[in-house]
Amino acid sequence: MPKVFVTQLPHKRDPITKALVPSINITPATEYGELIFMMPPQAAFHATGDLVAQLKVHLKAYDFEGGDSIIALGDPAIIAVAFGILGKYHGKFNVLKWDRQIGRYAQSRVSV
């Protein structure tokens, strides 16, 4: 089964429970495969070495030929590093982007 790598799912604080809850629903992306969340919601790009290492571990399993994709959400620095890793080690990758007009994700191919 293909995988959909999610850089980071944005969260917000629930006003009643004060718990962190997802601020967007990305379940429509399951049309393209199993969701894999790479970074926790509170991760910020300060501990650079650890975050890069964690992204490399996740993206080592990326399989372009198997139909894997990535969704760019969260910290822009985390997104940039994830795309850099995919470009360097895989050369091409699929990006899912939300299309408001059709109400679903559309897949775009990136070749480096």
CB crowding 35-63: b at 16 or more within 10 Å, else e: ebbbbebebebeeeeebbebbeebbeebe
pLDDT at 13: 92
pTM: 0.91
| C-alpha span between 106 and 45 (Å, rounded) | 28
Q: Which two tokens stand for residue 20?
A: 């962190």
Residue whose entry in the numeric block shows the structure tokens 């360097």: 88
> What is the DSSP code (8-state) at residue 45?
T
pLDDT in tens, 43-65: 766 667 888 999 999 999 999 99
Cβ–Cβ < 8 Å for 33, 97: no
Q: Is the pLDDT of residue 100 over 80?
A: yes
pLDDT in tens, 6-57: 999 998 999 999 998 999 999 999 999 999 999 988 776 666 788 899 999 9
